[in-house]
Amino acid sequence: MSDTKIKASKRLDRVEYQKDRYLKCKQKGICPFCSNPARPGKVSCTDCQKKQGEWSRVRKYGITPAQYRQMLAAQDGRCKICAILFGDAKSRDGCVVDHDHDTGKIRALLCQTCNNILGWVEKRSGVDHLEIMKQYVLEKIGDKQRKLPLA
């Protein structure tokens, strides 16, 4: 079995275990993180719900809450690509940690939309594909004189 298949298998086993554990805890009405009473109809208690995002970033990316807040402040609380303000009523996207999937290196904080688009472009032909998309959009806009961030 290849390394990729083994990693995927381990990831699936972990996900299944977590789902099973969460379901059992939810049925019992206890928080799976601290064993305190959970919020009605929810998996975790109020305190742990607030900390879940921080724990997730530490586990997934190795970024501490202080480092995350520092990155957020350095970007003025905005997406590095489209500059939408995180938590703004106009933004339905959350703030996500953009990272290189090959190296694990953290690049910036992005809105979910920009992160999805970036991931899609990277999976194709990278910069060449992005340049083709840019040219297409510029041709279709024509005389509208709209400015594009990529221009």
User: Using alpha carbons only, what angle is made at residue 27 by residues 21 and 31, rounded to the nearest 5 degrees?
Assistant: 60
pLDDT for the residue numbered 15? 64
Percent of the chain with pLDDT over 70: 75
pLDDT for the residue numbered 109? 92
The structure tokens listed for 88 are 């703004």
Confirm if 65 and 74 have CB atoms less than 8 A apart: no
Q: Which CATH architecture has domain 78-151?
A: 3-Layer(aba) Sandwich (3.40)
pLDDT for the residue numbered 80? 92
Model confidence, pTM = 0.58
CA dihedral over 118, 62, 91, 78, signed as positive or negative: negative
Residues 44-75: pLDDT tens digits?
Answer: 787 877 677 777 777 788 888 888 889 999 99
CA 141 from centroid of its chain's CA atoms = 31
Q: Where are the domains of the chain?
A: 1-62, 78-151
- For the cut 70, the answer to whether the pLDDT of residue 111 exceeds it is yes
DSSP state of 85: B
